[in-house]
Amino acid sequence: MDAIITHPAFQSGIAPFLVALGVALLLRPLSNPWKSIGLMAGFGVSVYLVVGWQLLPLTSTRKIFIIAALLTLLGVLLDLYPALRDRLLHGVVAAGVVSVVWVIWPLLQRQEDDRWWPIAGAALLFSTLLTGSLRRLKRDNGSLSVALCGVALGLSGAALMGASLLYAQLAAALCGGAAAYLLLSLWHDFDGAGEVLLLPSTALLALIAVAAVLFAQVPWYSLLPLLTIPLLVSLPLPLSWATWQERAAQLGLVVLPITLTIVMVWSVEGSPPL
């Protein structure tokens, strides 16, 4: 049993998938935020298995975990009280900017003179583009789940090629949790992602991507194809298609940007040191 629990594939793929699926099935009759909380529950279990829940020393990776936890709580609040959404919008955007800078601050401190601002600007731009494009899929739980799976899988492969097993596992955990909701989206009565799913998952993907580039030497341009995934899953499909056909087609569309990302990292870094 210990060999199974300590295996990276179980910690970052199977465990978050099973936990997210179990929580989502159990809470599916309820409204948001509860029916959408499974993805973060699965991610939390994966974090516990991979690195534990201790917060010290306060590394950039643990800062990402803290941000995810706070955004999950904020998502619960926004789902319970939708009227707060518009009032807190500017605050959420400002908090997102602060979060990115907080995570990459150790690197910015080491930059000379004004060489820090291109790094911070690029990180903020990528994070904004990724989270913004994913949020457009909020009302379609199936398409959102495909996009989250695709971005997370591509990011996991890129981090692995860049010799960062930790970031690869964290991204894979998000992929596993999103895959559970992708499976549930085949039922028409499960639709509409809550903020408790959307806020932390999109922020996590953006922050892990930024950390993988700045701390694990993943080439920044290799992640650009992943920005096309939300657009690809938004392409119109024949109305006569069944739900499973739509999901299969969307999964087929996202294979190309995922492959491009992994190949570009591989061409620079070579095979992962497994």
Among 45-59, 87-101, 219-233, 257-271, where is mean pLDDT lowest?
Answer: 87-101
Nearest Cα to Cα of residue 142 among 199, 174, 183, 185: 185
Express the helix, strand and coil content of the chain in percent, nearest 5 each.
75, 0, 25
Q: What is the mean pLDDT of residues 125-140?
A: 83
Return the pLDDT at 89: 67
- For 16-35, what is the mean pLDDT? 83
Report which of 4, 39, 70 is spatially closest to residue 152, judged by C-alpha positions: 39
Residue of higher predicted confidence among 9 and 179: 179
Cα Rg, the chain, nearest whole Å: 18
Q: pLDDT grade, residue 59 (50/70/90)? A: confident
Distances (CA, A) of 263 to 160, 221, 231: 12, 12, 21
Residue 127 and residue 206 in contact, taking contact as beta carbons nearer than 8 Å:
yes
Q: What percent of the chain has pLDDT over 90?
A: 21
Tokens 């700045």 correspond to 214
Is the distance from CB of 270 to CB of 217 less than 8 angstroms?
A: no
User: pLDDT value at position 233?
Assistant: 92
Distance of alpha carbon 241 from alpha carbon 245, whole angstroms: 6
Write down the domain spans for the chain.
2-269
Whether the Cβ atoms of residue 204 and residue 64 lie closer than 8 Å to each other: yes
Mean pLDDT of the 72-78 span: 85
- Among 44, 51, 98, 100, residue whose Cα is nearest residue 73: 44
Mean pLDDT of the 200-217 span: 84
Terminal-residue alpha carbon distance, the chain: 23
Long-range contacts, 270-273 (Cβ 8 Å, 24+): 270/161, 271/161, 272/160, 272/161, 272/163, 273/163
Query: 6: buried, middle or exposed (CB in 10 Å: 19+, 13-18, 0-12)?
Result: exposed
Cis preceding-peptide flag for 33 (omega within 30 of 0): yes
Report whether pLDDT(17) > 90: yes
